[in-house]
Structure 1
Amino acid sequence: MAIVAAVDGSDRATAVLAEATTLANEFDEELHALHVLERAELVEVLEKEVEGQDPRDNYEVQQRAERIVSRALPDTTRGDPTVAVRVGDPGAEIVSYAAENDDVRYLVVGGRQRTPTGKALFGSVTQAVMLESPVSVVNVVLE
C-alpha cells in the first residue's frame, strides 16, 4: 500500500508531505509525492515542443517535480519518497493517479482555512479530489 501526497510549489506542500510522512510511518507504507503540472507550466518548463514524447517521461519535468518535493520534505521522512509527475488538470490527475495505482491507501491534499461563507466550498482542486477520489482523502487545512 502507499500514501500519496499531492504537492505543488506552495508553502502548503511542506504540511502535506509532513502529514503524509506521518501516515506512511504509522502504517508502515510507501510514500509517494505527486506533482501535477498544468499545461501552461509545462510550456514554461520545456520552452520547446516535444513531439511524440509523454511529458511525464521528460527529464526537465521530472527534475522540477523532484525539486519541489525535496524543498518540502520534512526531516522525519524515512528514505526518499517515490516522486511522480503528471501533466493536466490537477484535480483530475490526482484522482487518476489513485485510480490507476491499486495500492494507494490515502491521498493527502492541502486546503486553506476558509471564512464561514467560504467553508461551503473547498478550493477547486481539493474539492475535486475529495468528491471524485476512489480512496480516502486526508485534507490538511492550513491558515
Structure 2
Amino acid sequence: MERALVVLDQDEQGRRLLEEAAELASGVDAKLHVLTLLTPEEFGEKRDALDAVERGEQTSYDDSVVLDRARQDAEEIIGETVGDLDLDYEVVPGRVGEAENESDRILETAGERNVDHVFVAGRKRSPTGKAVFGDRAQSIVLNFDGPVTSLLE
C-alpha cells in the first residue's frame, strides 16, 4: 500500500475506521487521503447555519465555506483520533451528492488520487433498503481495482 483512501463518516464507526486506516498507513509509510461526503440535505443544513452567521455579521460567504468547514471538521476528527501517529495524510475536498451515489463519488476520488486501497464503513440496511439504494461497501468491493477494507457494525 502506497496511497489509501478512507471515507470518514462522522460517527463512532467512522472514527474506528479512520483509526484502523491510519495505523496501517503509518505502519507501511503510506499516504492517507481522507474523504468526507455530504448529502444535499447535510450541505443545506450547514449552509443554513452559515446564513444565520451572515445575518448576524452582516457579511456574505459563498458555498466553498461550507466545504471548508467540512474539511476543518475532518481535521479535528483526525487530530482527536490519530493525532499521535506519524501520518502523511491529506483531507480531500468534500463531495456533495445524493446518498445513493456515494459509491460513485468514492470511486471517482479513488481514481483521481490514484489510491491502491480503500477503507469504507458498511451501513446496516434492510434487504429492501439495499435493493433500492444499494450497499456502498459492496459496490466499492465490486468496482474498485484493489483491496477494500470495510468495517461493518
Structure 2 length-normalised TM: 0.70
Whole-angstrom CA distance in 1 between matches of 2:75 and 2:14? 8
Which one has a bigger Cα radius of gyration?
A: 2
Q: What residue in structure 2 maps to residue 92 of structure 1?
A: 104
Whole-angstrom CA distance in 1 between matches of 2:143 and 2:112? 13
Whole-angstrom CA distance in 2 between matches of 1:6 and 1:69? 13
CA gap of 1:135–1:69, structure 2 versus 1, over 3 A, is: farther
SS at match of 2:85: coil
The letter of the residue matching 2:111 is A
The letter of the residue matching 1:86 is R
Query: In the alignment, which of 73, 76, 95 is matched to residue 70 of structure 1?
Result: 76
Q: What residue in structure 1 maps to residue 151 of structure 2?
A: 140
Are 1:17 and 2:29 counterparts? Answer: no
Q: Offset of 1:81 from its aligned partner?
A: 2.7
Structure 1 length-normalised TM: 0.74
Are 1:81 and 2:89 counterparts? Answer: yes
Q: Offset of 1:30 from its aligned partner?
A: 1.0
SS at match of 1:86: strand
CA contact (8 A) 1:14 1:74 kept: no
Structure 1 segment 1-143 matched on structure 2, within 5 A: 1-47=2-48, 58-71=64-77, 73-79=81-87, 81-84=89-92, 85-88=94-97, 89-102=101-114, 104-111=115-122, 124-142=135-153
Structure 1 vs Structure 2 CA RMSD? 3.0
Q: Offset of 1:45 from its aligned partner?
A: 1.5
The letter of the residue matching 1:132 is N
CA contact (8 A) 2:7 2:120 kept: yes
CA contact (8 A) 1:8 1:35 kept: yes
Q: Offset of 1:29 from its aligned partner?
A: 0.8
